[in-house]
Amino acid sequence: MIGGSGRSGNPLVAKLSRFVLFSREEIGVLEALCANQERFNAGVNLAEEGDPTRPGFVVTRGLACRCRLMADGRRQILTFLIPGDFFDLHAFLLRSMDHSIITIAATRLATIPRNKVTEIAARYPRIGAAFWWSAMQESAMLREHIVTLGRRNARGRVAHLFCELVWRQRAVGISEDHAIRLPLTQLDIADTLGLTAVHVNRVLQGFRREGLITLVQRRLQLHDVRTLQDVAGLTPDYLHLAGAPAESGRYLDRLERREAASRERAAGWC
Amino acid sequence: MIGGSGRSGNPLVAKLSRFVLFSREEIGVLEALCANQERFNAGVNLAEEGDPTRPGFVVTRGLACRCRLMADGRRQILTFLIPGDFFDLHAFLLRSMDHSIITIAATRLATIPRNKVTEIAARYPRIGAAFWWSAMQESAMLREHIVTLGRRNARGRVAHLFCELVWRQRAVGISEDHAIRLPLTQLDIADTLGLTAVHVNRVLQGFRREGLITLVQRRLQLHDVRTLQDVAGLTPDYLHLAGAPAESGRYLDRLERREAASRERAAGWC
DNA sequence: CGAGGAATTGAGTAGGTTCAAGGCCGGTGG
DNA sequence: CCACCGGCCTTGAACCTACTCAATTCCTCG
């Protein structure tokens, strides 16, 4: 199962803690956001292109993707949503969904009512800042995806995707070594990377022959990360997982003061 | 000249006004953000990959791009920055730039100090919401770029790019008809679309032969928008330019109340 | 044990690249 | 004012990566 947990037990907390070390109270707030979980099977449409925008979600287990379905039936997967990812907390600012969200494996989600998001961001500015950080990080991944599709060949694309998925899962404490559960079909991979399933297959054959990976029974293992990174032409920390820059320390300090003030006025909200 | 203005005279105001109708005071705040402009020639590196992140900017005239330079000298242009676009207002939350920003034409920028951004967002929540809206819109454009590179052929890519550039410039009041100044070389276009300059050339020749566009002297004119949209396989309003959904009205109302309260406490800041 | 989706393999094809050469145009300096 | 220069555009021909179509095998699950 892809779902699961790291030390904190909560992938949302684990993810955002890469950016700020939260207080016990803040952690409580984030954990409360993940209450009210719902389960979905694989292949379920959580949101459809053209729908009016919905409340936000946090993925707590499983795997889903954002994708765009083309008129001719082809599709393009835009990003994968793994545990700890929340999505569309602010999407209600847009008129409608410009893409669909579909589960790939069995998935658990917590729904987050709109007003709660704005309330929390107002009352716990450090959490609000973490939301911005996460949005910046997601943009960074989208930009990286553009580079992948625009300037990497098929081998580079696959290598890059695998490295990214492994790193992201390590970042939320799901994986320890260089192996992850990968419930993607070769067609899913192809639709992510702008290739065909046939060609993805041939690339995978090549990687196996060269001893770079094994991929059996939905389990992916990277044997030679260094070489894969070279193939992908990877920039080291594009996921910005190293945490907050020293620079933002001052900003967070300021937030802390503001937060303390607002906490006096309001009792705990949950 | 690409720079210039619509009715409001200020492209930032014009852009954000697509989302909220601002009060006179809010407009004043936004216009003040655009004070302190600096001029840059074409081909200047405003920020380099790996730099520590900088303060934010607003483009008021000209054209720049975000791009990624690869190890082998190739590059991938990620997005274009046209007047009204501000960038990296929150990038200081990340450790370092993962891409460069380069001017394509002569460009004017206003620099926005970090603390001003957070101050404004706190004191004028409607402006803060507009920042989020703009971030959502930029993400939408990145996603669209992914679809372009992953699932459109060369003709579709070029057609899509042209439509997008024209629409964006109309949205900030720079262009009225279906013609814009386009200070891009064919190599720039190729680096945006994951193609080679040679092939971009052939596609353009085709479009000209078919009477779809004219492109002379850095001036692009779309003659048959309908056909170009078909070639691009365009979704109608992916830029979300139609404005805020009714849904967010309530949210903005709530903000207004909060804003009024905070305004009492603080005098105008500029 | 059967069925259906997924993976695999082969052969032919096409869209886009690569390499290379020539022409155009705008700017610059004598 | 003209000649030169460099960047950009244009065109041709050969090539290659990845696609398409199609058939076969493998897994998984009921």
Mean pLDDT of A45-53: 87
Distance from CA of A25 to the nearest CA of B (A): 22
User: Tell me: the pLDDT tens digits for B220-233?
Assistant: 999 999 999 999 98
* B56-61: strand order across its sheet: B37-40, B107-112, B56-61, B86-87
Q: Tell whether the model's pLDDT for residue B65 goes beyond 80.
A: yes
Between CA A150 and CA B13 the distance in angstroms is 33
Residues in chain B: 270
Q: What's the DSSP call for residue B53?
A: P
Q: What is the pLDDT of residue A87?
A: 85
Q: Looking at the whole model, is its pTM more than 0.85? A: yes
Q: Tell whether the model's pLDDT for residue A158 goes beyond 90.
A: yes
Between CA A174 and CA A11 the distance in angstroms is 8
Place of tokens 């939260």: A22
Q: What is the pLDDT of residue A94?
A: 82
pLDDT band at A102 (very low <50, low <70, confident <90, very high): very high
User: Tell me: the pLDDT tens digits for A89-99?
Assistant: 877 778 788 89
Q: What is the pLDDT of residue A213?
A: 97
pLDDT band at B255 (very low <50, low <70, confident <90, very high): low
User: Tell me: the pLDDT tens digits for B25-61?
Assistant: 999 999 999 988 999 999 999 998 888 877 889 999 9
> Is the shortest CB-to-strand distance from A214 to strand C under 7 Å?
no
Q: What is the pLDDT of residue B270?
A: 25
**In what helix (H) or strand (E) does residue A222 lie, and over which residues does it extend?**
strand A219-222
Give chain A positions within 8 Å (CB) of B147. Answer: 68, 70, 76, 78
**Pairwise CB contact (< 8 Å): A92 & B248:** yes
Q: Establish if B146 touches chain A: CB-CB under 8 angstroms.
A: yes
Q: Establish if B261 touches chain A: CB-CB under 8 angstroms.
A: no
Distance B69 CA to C21 C1' (A): 28
Do B207 and B213 contact (CB within 8 A), yes or no? yes
Give chain A positions within 8 Å (CB) of B94. Answer: 133, 136-137, 140, 240, 245
Q: Tell whether the model's pLDDT for residue B269 goes beyond 50.
A: no
Between CA B257 and CA B261 the distance in angstroms is 6
Closest chain A residue by Cα to residue B152: A194
Q: Tell whether the model's pLDDT for residue A266 goes beyond 60.
A: no
Q: Which of residues 15-74 of A touch B (CB under 8 A)?
A: 19, 52-53, 66, 68, 70-71, 74
Place of tokens 């105001």: B13
Q: Which residues sit opposite B69 in a β-bridge?
A: B75
Mean pLDDT of A32-52: 91
Q: Tell whether the model's pLDDT for residue B178 goes beyond 60.
A: yes
Q: Which of residues 71-110 of A touch B (CB under 8 A)?
A: 71, 74-76, 78, 90-96, 98-99
User: Tell me: the pLDDT tens digits for B124-146?
Assistant: 989 998 998 899 999 999 999 99
Q: What rounded mean pLDDT belongs to chain A?
A: 85
Distance from CA of A93 to the nearest CA of B (A): 6
Mean pLDDT of A44-72: 91
Mean pLDDT of B52-80: 92
Between CA B4 and CA B175 the distance in angstroms is 9
Long-range pairs of A123-127 with CB within 8 A, sequence gap ≥ 24: A123/A259, A123/A262, A123/A263, A123/A266, A123/A269, A124/A26, A124/A29, A124/A259, A125/A255, A125/A256, A125/A258, A125/A259, A126/A20, A126/A22, A126/A26, A126/A252, A126/A255, A126/A256, A126/A259, A127/A16, A127/A22, A127/A26, A127/A29, A127/A30
pLDDT band at A42 (very low <50, low <70, confident <90, very high): very high
- In the three-class reduction of DSSP (H, G, I as helix; E, B as strand; rest coil), residue B111 is classed as strand
What ranges make up the beta strands (E) of chain B? 37-40, 45-47, 56-61, 64-69, 75-81, 86-87, 100-103, 107-112, 179-181, 213-216, 219-222
Q: Tell whether the model's pLDDT for residue A170 goes beyond 90.
A: no
Percentage of chain A beyond pLDDT 90 is: 60
Residue A157 CB partners (closer than 8 Å, separation 6+): A148, A149, A193, A194, A195, A232
The dihedral sign for the CA sequence B249, B250, B253, B259? negative
pLDDT band at B2 (very low <50, low <70, confident <90, very high): very low
Q: What is the pLDDT of residue B4?
A: 38
- Judged on CB neighbours under 10 Å (0-12, 13-18, 19+), B224 is middle
Instruction: List the helix and strand counts (H, then E) for chain B.
Output: 9, 11
pLDDT band at A74 (very low <50, low <70, confident <90, very high): very high
> Is the shortest CB-to-strand distance from B187 to strand C under 7 Å?
no
Between CA A132 and CA B134 the distance in angstroms is 13
Q: What is the pLDDT of residue B263?
A: 43
